[in-house]
Structure 1
Amino acid sequence: MNGARCCGAPSGSSRVCFNKANIHPRYLTLSVIRRKRAGIMAHGSPDGCLESELSCPICLHLLLDPVTLPCAHSFCLVCLETPERDKSSGHDQVLCCPVCGQEHLSPESLPRNIKLKQIVETYRANNISCELQPRAEDEIINDQTSTEDTDVCKSTDSGKSSLLETETSESSLNPVISSLQEKLVVVDDLVNKEKAIEAVVKATHADLRKDVSGVLEEMAELVKTYSTTALKLLEAELRPREDAVGKRVRMLTDLQKQLRAAELQVNTLKDETDDACCIEVSSVTLDPLQDSSSGQELSSSLKEVCEKIEKQNTQLRLGLGSSQRALRVVLNPSEVTFDPDTIHPNLLLSEDLKTVSFSAAKQPYPAGSQRFSSFFQALSSQSFVRGEHLWDFRAEGCAWVVAVCYGDLPRSGSGSGLESSAGSWCLMYCENLLRAYERGKDTPLRRTPSLKRMEIRLSFSTGSLVFYSVSDVSGDKTHLHTFKVSFTQPVYLAVRMMSGQPKAHITVH
């Protein structure tokens, strides 16, 4: 067998050996090659050593579809398949291991080393450069081969080697390409989502800028109107005085001219009798000098102007307060203030419109169709149709009802109570008992000696209205009740004071 290492084959089988006739010239210098590769890898990185262990001893490249022989040596499947093998014969093929020479069955009958294949593919995916760049060790090995053997290799195996290298390169890039494509799909999806979010944010911010600009322009118009009105009031008082003073100046100027004319006449009529001179001088009168106004009159008139401007100040404060509340509503969609036009006459409203207090004396509020008259109730100025809202409720010195309700709640009669309305969802705390009312139907919840503070959460996305009690000491929250409801109209926040005491008050933030 021309130097091939092999033993006797079993009867009825053919033996395939690797000799000079069918082996690549580099295979014949296997021991030299392995020593050189080991020397190169020893001076290189740990990855180089690992690459050496994962390389086929025949083709010296990373294993492709590896097969492990019973002698524990692993090779590329394509490297074990030789042209001399007669696949059409009915006899079993016998293969001599190119490393140790032991005889084995043909590679077609051997199982593939799946684990080794996965290890090689993982290494190849993490070290792409090892497949894309020329190998220095291959150049060293090629220098050791003879010119004659190289010519034989070129004439017999050039097509096969080129195909193998192409398949190996493509196989090594496929996992990387797949990984990049998967990541690109994820990134494309994220980009599209972020662009959609960006469009929503820009649209929301544009609306917010428009609303805030409108409120600020309204405030600027209020200040401008106040300034214009104050100047008109002042001008209305000062202009007549200036006109009167100008008139007196003109009168005195005319008198001055008359006196100078009389003086000239006296000087030119020296030969006239004294009686004639007296007649000429007496014709000049000084009555206009008695019409001068006093500084006290000016001070009195300016006081009247100040009082009129003070009335304008009140209107300005009311207007600016309304604009500021509108600005808070724009910047904080959960902003709540009580509507002065709905508050019962026995309730007082704080300056910030967030607290109602009991008053034994009825307040002189203007009558209106929106004002509650049968119960001590107040309705919020704001209505809510979307979003998530959170309010802090505090009550002192009274039994109370707090509700979320529709705006068409009656304003008088027995049906105007928050707990009685069909369009109301509320909690009532009276005589240490907490009750829930939904569309006029009550549900006893629990007895509690004190309930002064609650947290109210309204969510349109989940269709829920949730109440929590909040401890004044620890701040811990305890769930009280949840209403599940799909609102069909804008809803308002409303409160009712059930008992009147001098210091009783309810505040909502």
Structure 2
Amino acid sequence: MMAHGSPEGCLESELTCPICLHLLLDPVTLPCAHSFCLVCLETPERDNTSGFDQALCCPVCGQEHLSPESLPRNIKLKQIVENYKASSISGELQSSAEDKLINDRPSPEDADVCKSTDSGKSSLVETETNERRSRLNPVITSLQEKLALVDDLASKEKAREAAVKAAHADLRKDVSSVLEEIAELVKTYSTTALKLLEAELRPREDAVGKRVRMLSDLQKPLRSAGLQVDALMDEMDDACFIDGVRDVENQVSSLTLEPLQDSSSDLELSSSLKKVCEKIEHQNTQLRLGLGSTQRALRVVLNPSEVTFDPDTIHPNLVLSEDLKTVSFSAAKQPYPARSRRFSSFFQALSSQSFVRGEHLWEFQAEGCAWVLAVCYGELPRSGSGSGLESSAGSWCLMYCDNLLRAYEKGKDTPLRRTPSLKRMEIRLSFSTGTLAFYSVSDVSGDKTHLHTFKVRFTQPVYLAVRMMSGQPKAHITVN
């Protein structure tokens, strides 16, 4: 054994089991941070014949822990012990050989006699030591390489774990914000509906309550007059009797029931409730609009590639579907509100969502029309000849018209190919690689064919945009 004052001795002490006082064998580490051989913790006294886990008491600090069978093995500590054993064996062999050579060194007078013998022994020991070292060196190297690899992987996974947790925390926060908005919409709807109902019911209840109070006020003098009449029945003095009768008559004549007649009826109440129903139905419309907006916001949070068309940008000859994903041609102009963002010269529509990062994939389908499909900046002209998607300097698009496919970048066109039909497309936008790629999709097999890729580094948020180049009754464009 090495001296404890030396570095090797200190290391050996740290790697020694406190129970058996030997180097750790298949070590396990308790939650209190003390390590022991697994076999030393599995003593006969701890045999569990009852079928229940028994507490394990640490031999060093006395803390109680789970049974050793449920404790994880300390693989890293085991590797350190094995490496130490390997280096110790090599060092002990070399030290033993050197001590043997020193102790067995012949005296000067026997030097000549023993020279050849010592030389042979020294050579044999050195050979054995080299053989052991050469046998252990690959094992030690392999262990060290694997330990370094595991350490590196563990470090990367910890960093990835932190990134995932941070991203999930942001996602939970965004989803909670949208759900709180939905709850607030429902709460506002409920409060408003109850107020409308209360506004019709409360006056009727107040009127009935007022009549009850007035009748209650009449009951008191009438009962008092009744008591006076009972008393007059026993009155023997004629003058007192006459005065008493006159007093009761005055009291009764002063009471009137005309104001107590109920002017309201069940028919009037029914009419009032119908008005409440109409007002609540108006609130239903507002609630549906609000919930639709928040649900789309939730989809955007959960799906960063979610895309819908902005109702305030579509041309008046385009009709937007309820899910805001399809625009259809209409021969009659729609009475849309006037908006500065609405296209007025071309049958175009812009997405509600903008994109600044990430990887995105969309599907595009057109029926009954020539079309333009683009990714563009938001500061696009809304009227005039320069408002066409293919004309803008901040637009990257494909145009399919008269069986010819063209690519446009910053207003400059590049003819690509002729094709008799092109209805389904796939668009892939990658901010990391700075690419915008277009693929055609077969209606029959679903196979995809690369059409064109733009290489561009966007400097602003970009939107998805479409243009319907010809107006036909059943023409429509859908983006998912």
Structure 2 CA distance for aligned equivalents of residues 300 and 204 of structure 1: 55
Letter in 2 for 1:234: L
The residue number in structure 1 matching 2:168 is 205
Matched, 1:237 2:200: yes
Larger Rg: 1
Q: Matched residues in 1 for 2:128 and 2:218: separation?
A: 126
Alignment of 1:249-328 (within 5 A): 249-269=212-232, 272=242, 281-328=252-299
Structure 1, 397-406 or 274-283: larger mean CA deviation:
274-283
1:212 and 1:330 in contact (8 A); partners too: yes
Residue 165 of structure 1, CA deviation: 2.4
Aligned to 2:355: 384
Q: Does 1:374 align with 2:374?
A: no
Aligned pair partner of 2:467 in 496, 499, 503: 496
Per the normalisation by structure 1, the TM-score is: 0.66
- Tell me if 1:247 matches 2:210: yes
Q: Contact 2:229–2:245 (CA<8 Å) still a contact in 1?
A: no
Please state how far the C-alpha of 1:263 moved relative to its aligned partner: 3.6
The one of 329, 344, 347 equivalent to 2:318 is: 347
Give distance in 2, aligned partners of 1:265 and 1:361. Answer: 86
Letter in 2 for 1:237: E
Distance 2:215 2:323 in 1: 59
| CA shift digits 1:8-43 (9 cap, x unpaired) | xxxxxxxxxxxxxxxxxxxxxxxxxxxxxxxxxxxx
Displacement after TM superposition at 1:268 (Å): 4.3
| Residues 232 and 245, structure 2, Cα contact 8 Å, conserved in 1 | no
**How far apart, in 2, do the equivalents of 1:484 and 1:189 lie?**
36
Q: For residues 163-195 of structure 1, give each alpha carbon's deviation from its aligned partner in whole angstroms, at most 9, with x where no partner exists.
A: 332222112111211222222333333223222
1:215 to 175, 178, 187: 178
Among 147, 152, 166, the residue aligned to 2:129: 166
Question: Residue 381 of structure 1 aligns to a residue in which SS?
Answer: coil
The question of whether the paired residues in 1 share the 8 Å contact of 2:362 and 2:427 is answered with yes
Change beyond 3 A, Cα 1:482–1:160: closer
Matched, 1:475 2:438: no
Q: Is the CA contact 1:358–1:500 (under 8 Å) kept in the aligned structure 2?
A: yes
Report the alpha carbon displacement of residue 279 of structure 1 after superposing the two structures with TM: 6.6
Is residue 421 of structure 1 aligned with residue 392 of structure 2?
Answer: yes
Aligned to 1:452: 423
Pick aligned residue for 1:432 from 399, 403, 419: 403
Give unmatched runs, 5+ long, in structure 2. Answer: 1-85, 91-113, 234-240
Q: Is the 8 A contact 1:399 1:498 kept in 2?
A: yes
Q: What is the Cα deviation at residue 265 of structure 1?
A: 4.3
327-336 vs 304-313, which deviates more? Answer: 304-313
Which residue of 1 is the match for residue 331 of structure 2? 360
Q: Does residue 506 in structure 1 map to residue 480 in structure 2?
A: no
Greater shift after overlay, 177-186 or 299-308? 177-186
Please name the residue that 2:150 is paired with. 187
Match runs of 1:82-97 below 5 Å: none
For these two proteins, the number of residue pairs brought into alignment is 361
CA distance in 1, matches of 2:180, 2:310: 23
Is the Cα–Cα contact under 8 Å of residues 251 and 288 in structure 1 kept in the other structure? no
Number of the residue aligned with 2:17: none
Amino acid at match of 1:477: K
* 1:396 aligned residue: 367
Q: Distance in 1 between matches of 2:418 and 2:222?
A: 101
Q: TM-score, normalised by structure 2?
A: 0.70
Q: Among 296, 309, 322, which residue is 1:338 paired with?
A: 309
Contact 1:407-1:491 at 8 Å conserved across structures = yes
Partner Cα distance (2:434, 2:134) in 1: 55
Cα distance in 2 for partners of 1:374, 1:248 equals 68
Partner amino acid, structure 2, of 1:233: L
Q: Aligned residue for 1:94?
A: none
Cα distance change of structure 1 residues 395 and 285 upon mapping to structure 2, 3 Å threshold: same
Q: Distance in 1 between matches of 2:121 and 2:366?
A: 94
| CA shift digits 1:325-380 (9 cap, x unpaired) | 11111111110011111111221111111111122222222212111111111110
Quick one: distance in 2 between partners of 1:284 and 1:232? 38
5+ residue gaps, structure 1, are: 1-127, 133-151
Q: Is the 8 A contact 1:252 1:288 kept in 2?
A: no
In 2, the alpha carbon distance for the partners of 1:221 and 1:173 equals: 71
> What is the CA deviation profile of residues 181-236 of structure 1, one whole-angstrom value per residue up to 9, with x for unaligned ones?
22233333322322232222222112111111111111122222222222222222
Distance 1:191 1:403 in 2: 44
Q: Residue 319 of structure 2 contacts residue 328 of structure 2 at CA under 8 Å; is this kept in 1? A: yes
1:436·1:442 contact (CA, 8 Å) conserved in 2?
yes
Distance between the aligned counterparts of 2:142 and 2:253, measured in 1? 122
**Partner amino acid, structure 2, of 1:454:** M
